[in-house]
Chain A
């Protein structure tokens, strides 16, 4: 029920994002979703890709610091109030969101929200109990 995300440390200077994407492109890795968190000095690029191991090997080979993190992908109807409905459930269960990002599925009916929780297992159980559809990794990587 969990999804593996890769995170890459990048300095906040021009050309770094371009370099990361070229490395992944050259390695034949496809990016499914991404988010970038940044400060004035550095940033963390978080990616869901089709081939994690290949992506990690390529980036490490070029000297980047890379880590894997388990995140949760939740499907919500692509309509007003979709995100709010999830967040209310989490709030009621006192589960904290460390960060999140979202994309819309290709068919357009649903949005997928990627969450990093402080309590991953509890979050999955709570959301499933409320009827939310949690996507598994294989489905996401192959989307």
Chain B
């Protein structure tokens, strides 16, 4: 009911086949909406979202009441700044379903991303949410230069993680041929890429470089493959890495952004034409940049933490969600003709979350695993590096008298046990290194738990 005003919402262009091959836009009307109309649409959708969450989500009712805000008092887009933030912690406190704004009978899909205490962050999608996601992901693919007839080699993981299914549904919505290969088994990936004639590759940037190394060893020549475009995301990367990928895989490498809390892949995408910043789909999301310490909204162009408000989501709408990702917003017109603002390449995180091979890892998760193993001290250090283009994680654990043994095999068994627990709980492979007590530097206040040696 609340979304009845958005009559264009589910309409997507029906191209004639020939036209579709030439299409630059998936949904031209919305992608090129003049800013004044875009902002009017945002306000209308924001008001509806605030009303929905106020009515259906106790968390938002109490946080809005506390801030002295009624849905009726949201009169302009500037009023957004008065609304309270939603944090990852709020999502954890609401585990699993307390932030859902739609009844369970309307939720058709549940995804989750890893959390800090072993409990994931849970998101639910209504049928409409899934449709919108597919539309936005199709738009994202077209923005990256994809069209009907493309063979999309989707090496993002399928499962609770939103990457695989998100790209998959968008590719089908676009009408491209999608190969749901998921991650891993690189030799098979290369064979299929070669034999099936994949034209678009979607995976993490580090995995693409790993594929390039494996291809070299296997005698597969990327210049002979049909790959044209790579859509890479789910972990931070750099311009230097883009050049390396483009050189080694002989394709145009573009940056994609998304997070499960907001939707999944397809929240923002770098355009093929401009290749300079990622268009964030402002007809569905309102971006803001804040100072991560004070919470103040920063002017366009300044670097800070990205905050996103969802304005069409039904399952789990989020008001001013703090993404912890550091970027800036650019409202300058783009050569591609899209009017949606661009976020700059992510330059880091405002919290201690690490992204290792596309998986979110919080040091506190590792800590709770270590503490759960009999006798292991919570003195640990994580060393993240990138070797042969793949992220590596070394976990240094101090050996104290409770776990020390005069037998090598007992200590080695302990190291393997910790590695297995981390792999089982977090889905990340690591190597455990046992070190002498006090080998790990103690510091006053916040302990230094992470050394990230990756050169991006």
Q: Flag if B401 contacts A44 (CB, 8 Å).
A: no
B15 at the interface (CB under 8 A from A): no
Which of B400, B411, B436, B438 counts the most chain A CB atoms within 10 A?
B436
The stretch of B217-225, B382-390, B402-410 that contacts the partner chain: B402-410
Residues A9 and B436 in contact, CB atoms below 8 Å apart: yes
A36 to chain B, nearest CB (A): 11
Q: B439 contacts the other chain (Cβ, under 8 Å)?
A: yes
Residue-wise interface mask of B (406-419) relative to A, using a CB-CB cutoff of 8 A (1 in contact, 0 not): 11100110000000
State the CA gap A28–B407 with chains docked (Å): 27
Question: With A9-B399, A63-B438, A65-B399 as given contacts, are A41 and B404 in contact (CB-CB < 8 Å)?
Answer: no
Check if A116 sits within 8 Å of B436, measured CB to CB.
Answer: no
Out of B400, B407, B412, B433, which one reaches A65, CB within 8 Å? B400
User: In the complex, what residues of A have CB within 8 A of residue B412's CB?
Assistant: 39
Residues on B with C-beta less than 8 A from A98 are 407
B333 on interface, CB distance cutoff 8 Å:
no
- Contact between chains at B436 and A46 (CB < 8 Å): no
In the complex, the answer to whether A46 meets B406 with C-beta atoms within 8 Å is yes
Do A5 and B438 touch across chains, with their CB atoms under 8 A apart? no
Q: Shortest beta-carbon distance, B145 to chain A, in Å?
A: 47
B-side interface residues, number (CB < 8 Å): 17
Given contacts A9-B399, A39-B412, A42-B411, contact A65 B436 (CB under 8 A): yes
- Measured in the bound complex, the distance between the Cα atoms of B407 and A5 in whole Å is 12
Chain A's closest residue to B398 (CB) is A65
1/0 per residue A53-79: CB within 8 Å of B? 000000000011111010000000000
CA distance A121 to B273 in the complex (A): 79
Q: A44 to B411, alpha carbons, bound, how many Å?
A: 10
Residues of B within 8 A of A42 (CB): 399, 411, 433-435
Residues of A within 8 A of B411 (CB): 9, 42, 44
Report chain B residues within 8 Å CB of A44: 405-408, 411
What separation, in Å, do the CA atoms of A67 and B403 have in the docked complex? 10
In A82-98, the 8 Å CB interface with B consists of: 98
Which residue from A16, A39, A63, A67 sits with its C-beta under 8 Å from B405?
Answer: A67
User: Complex: how many Å from CA A41 to CA B412?
Assistant: 10
Q: Tally chain A residues at the interface, Cβ within 8 Å.
A: 22
Main secondary structure of the interface of B (DSSP, over half): loop
Q: For the complex, give the distance between the alpha carbons of A11 and B434 in Å.
A: 8
Contact B406 A64 (CB under 8 A): no
Q: A132 CA to B104 CA in the complex, in Å?
A: 77
Question: B436–A10 contact, CB under 8 A?
Answer: yes
The interface residues of chain B lying within 8 Å CB-to-CB of A11 are 435-436, 439
Instruction: Give the residues in chain B near A69, CB-CB below 8 Å.
Output: 406
Cα A7 to Cα B407 in complex, Å, equals: 9
Quick one: closest A residue to B435, CB to CB? Answer: A11
Q: Which residue of B lies closest to A41 (CB)?
A: B433
Which of A38, A66, A98 has the most CB atoms of chain B within a 10 A radius of its CB?
Answer: A98
Q: Mask for A93-120, Cβ within 8 A of B = 1, else 0? A: 0000011000000000000000010000
Interface assignment of B437: CB less than 8 Å from any CB of chain A: yes
Assuming the contacts A42-B411, A65-B399, asked whether A5 and B434 have C-beta atoms less than 8 A apart, the reply is no
Q: Could you tell me the distance in whole angstroms from the C-beta of B50 to the nearest C-beta in chain A? A: 55
State in angstroms the CA–CA spacing of A131 and B30 once bound together.
Answer: 95
Residues of the B chain whose Cβ atoms lie less than 8 Å from the Cβ of A99: 407
Residues of B contacting A18 with CB < 8 Å?
none
CB distance B437 to A65 under 8 Å? yes
Question: In the complex, which residue of chain A has the Cβ closest to the Cβ of B409?
Answer: A98
When the two chains form their complex, are residues A116 and B434 in contact, meaning their CB atoms are under 8 A apart?
A: no
Most chain A CB inside 10 Å of its own CB: which residue of B406, B438, B439: B406
Type the 1/0 row for B429-444, where 1 means its CB is closer than 8 Å to any CB of A: 0000111111100000
- List, in ascending order, chain A residues with CB within 8 A of B401's CB: 65-67
With both chains docked as a complex, state the minimum distance between the C-beta of A54 and any C-beta of chain B, in angstroms.
18
Given contacts A41-B433, A64-B437, A67-B405, 16 further A-B contacts (CB under 8 A): A7-B405, A9-B399, A11-B435, A37-B408, A38-B408, A39-B408, A41-B434, A42-B411, A42-B434, A44-B407, A46-B406, A63-B437, A65-B399, A65-B437, A98-B407, A116-B406
Those 9 A-B pairs whose CB atoms lie nearest each other, nearest first = A7-B406, A69-B406, A65-B404, A63-B438, A9-B399, A37-B408, A41-B433, A42-B434, A11-B436
List 21 A-B residue pairs with CB atoms under 8 Å apart, sorted by A's residue number: A7-B406, A9-B411, A11-B435, A11-B436, A16-B436, A37-B408, A41-B433, A42-B433, A44-B405, A63-B437, A64-B436, A65-B399, A65-B400, A65-B437, A66-B401, A66-B404, A67-B404, A69-B406, A98-B407, A116-B406, A116-B407
Q: Which residues of B are interface residues toward A (Cβ below 8 A)?
A: 399-401, 404-408, 411-412, 433-439
Listed in ascending order, the chain A residues whose CB lies under 8 Å from chain B are 5, 7, 9-11, 16, 37-39, 41-42, 44, 46, 63-67, 69, 98-99, 116
